[in-house]
Amino acid sequence: MLNERSKKLFIEAKKVIPGGVNSPVRAFKSVGGDPIFIKKAKGAYLFDEDNNKYIDYISSWGPLILGHAHESVIEAINQQSHKGTSYGIPTELETKMAELVVELAPNVDKVRFVNSGTEACMSAVRLARGFTGKDKIIKFSGCYHGHADPFLIEAGSGASTFGMPNSPGVTKSSAKDTLLAEYNNIDQVMQLFEKNKNEIAAIILEPVAGNMGCVLPKQNFISELKKICLSNDSLLIFDEVMTGFRLALGGAQELLSIDADLITYGKVIGGGLPVGAFGGRSEIMDFLAPDGPVYQAGTLSGNPIAMSAGFAMLTYLQQNPNVFASLNEKTTYLSKGVEERLKNSELPFQINQLGSMMSLHFTNDPVIDFTSAKKGDNDYFKRYFHAMLANGVYLPPSAYESYFLNDAISYEDLDHTLDALSDSLSFIERK
């Protein structure tokens, strides 16, 4: 594939944008080569500036669960934009969107909208600290909750892709209030509570992790976390920025049948526009300003364009719940097809999948946490990524990401993807 125009655009971009991108993972640093620049997208397909077509397996890192430019979302944005884009004044639309989230999200009485998943997670942690009067939080290595200081302590997405577990600029004082445990390791969590009695405000985790590849919680892991939180007057925060409205209409809380105290959302909730949210029981949410003492704010929070896109997205999912079954079936078809092809190769591999989240790891060991995820052969991964890209398949450009299928992907697209893998195997295996 010719990428001359993308190469030129990348050179231009780097002159005025750090690294040429507005989010590090897009720069292809962990897979090598230069990023492609996208001109447009529709349904399951991306079209780059050199008119190459790709089947999209990142769906804007999750939001576009129905595929690009879905008519219901575009129509809602069109209609709202003629009424103005932002007022900074309450609107009925925000209430309607909040009512819909409260209806769809289990165990959420009230919700506050923000503009990103980072903001949602950052605000939820501040609220948990304010509500409990405690300072420390526990997070898990390999889980990513955005780029706020308390989380860049061995983050599992972009930061770990660069092997920069602790980002410069994160102060020692903020780092001391973030305790780390290995995902799926309940003993480490218990030890942290022993050592930090009455100091831990919350545990925050991805209930199904997607930032070390897709990693599933072990049986009882999360129910044990909930018990520990209850017995220590700490809060359990589910970061559902990735899983919310993707794994099920009620997200991981529904799928895993377990309630968290605070839940954060992003990605799908905005239908492709910048929306984050955090919600929970009224007794906790009422601690937020202006009624409560915990401050949190945002100029464009709840802006009508983003609300209209999110409302259209969630309404469509509510009225077409078969989307989730369809996505799960397509993802299972893909993961089984990949397994079929790789088991006849020399390559070590593990495939993790839950619903429409999946990841492929070039390692013999089960991937159950960040330590095991890091054992994956990144050289194989790089060759795999570029071989698939050359075959018109755009995968996440990092071994520490999950595939995000969208429901516009057809079985023909899935077969093309599997054929591309077959074509790529000799290239991937080359030492």
Q: Which residues are catalytic?
A: 144, 239, 267
Binding footprint of ligand KE4 on the chain (CB under 6 A): 23, 25, 61, 116-118, 121, 144-146, 157-158, 206, 210-211, 239, 241-242, 266, 401
Distance CA 161, CA 185 (A): 22
Angle at 60 between CA 118 and CA 316, to 5 degrees: 95
Minimum Å gap between C-beta 314 and ligand KE4 is 17
Minimum Å gap between C-beta 268 and ligand KE4 is 11
Minimum Å gap between C-beta 187 and ligand KE4 is 24
* CB distance 142 to 183 below 8 Å: yes
Query: Of 193, 191, 179, which Cα lies nearest the Cα of 151?
Result: 179
Handedness of CA 91, 122, 221, 353 (dihedral sign): positive
Cα 24–chain centre separation: 15
Distance CA 305, CA 318 (A): 20
- Measured between its terminal Cα atoms, the distance across the chain in Å is 23
* CB distance 290 to 107 below 8 Å: no
Minimum Å gap between C-beta 272 and ligand KE4 is 12
DSSP for 196-242 reads TTTTEEEEEE-SSB-SSS-BPPPTTHHHHHHHHHHHTT-EEEEE-TT
The DSSP H or E segment spanning 357 is strand 357-361
Nearer to ligand KE4, 182 or 419 (CB): 182
Minimum Å gap between C-beta 430 and ligand KE4 is 29
